[in-house]
Amino acid sequence: MNYAQTGKSEMAELTKLVTVLAQQVSEIEKKIDNRPSGSYQKPPAARPELSVPDRPPIVCYSCGEPGHISR
Ligand SMILES: [Zn+2]
């Protein structure tokens, strides 16, 4: 039985894989950091429907017509 040796080489393989993955992650992070912020628009923070200037069109769920709502 040479479980010890097998385990060792598996560990080496895993260590290699983890190293490669870590490198790839840091590459991706670099790419994200370099992305121009102008093309990316941050979505407005979601607010409760207290004072939203542009309300989404209301559609009545009773008769299906927009513009009013039915209880
Ligand atoms: Zn209606």
Flag whether 49 is in a domain: no
Flag whether 52 is in a domain: no
Flag whether 59 is in a domain: no
What distance in angstroms lies between residue 66's CA and the mean position of ligand 1's atoms? 8
Flag whether 56 is in a domain: no
Question: Sign of the C-alpha dihedral, residues 25, 27, 31, 33?
Answer: positive
What distance in angstroms lies between residue 54's CA and the mean position of ligand 1's atoms? 21
Flag whether 19 is in a domain: yes
Give the mean pLDDT of 19-41.
83
Flag whether 25 is in a domain: yes
What distance in angstroms lies between residue 71's CA and the mean position of ligand 1's atoms? 9
pLDDT tens, position by position, 43-62:
777 766 666 567 778 899 99
Domain that holds residue 20: 1-35
Flag whether 47 is in a domain: no
Provide φ and ψ at 4, rounded to 5°: -60, -45
What distance in angstroms lies between residue 56's CA and the mean position of ligand 1's atoms? 16
24 band by pLDDT with thresholds 50, 70 and 90: very high
Structure tokens at 68: 């009013």
SS3 sequence, 4-68?
HHHHHHHHHHHHHHHHHHHHHHHHHHHHHHHCCCCCCCCCCCCCCCCCCCCCCCCECCCCCCECC
Total of domains in the chain: 1
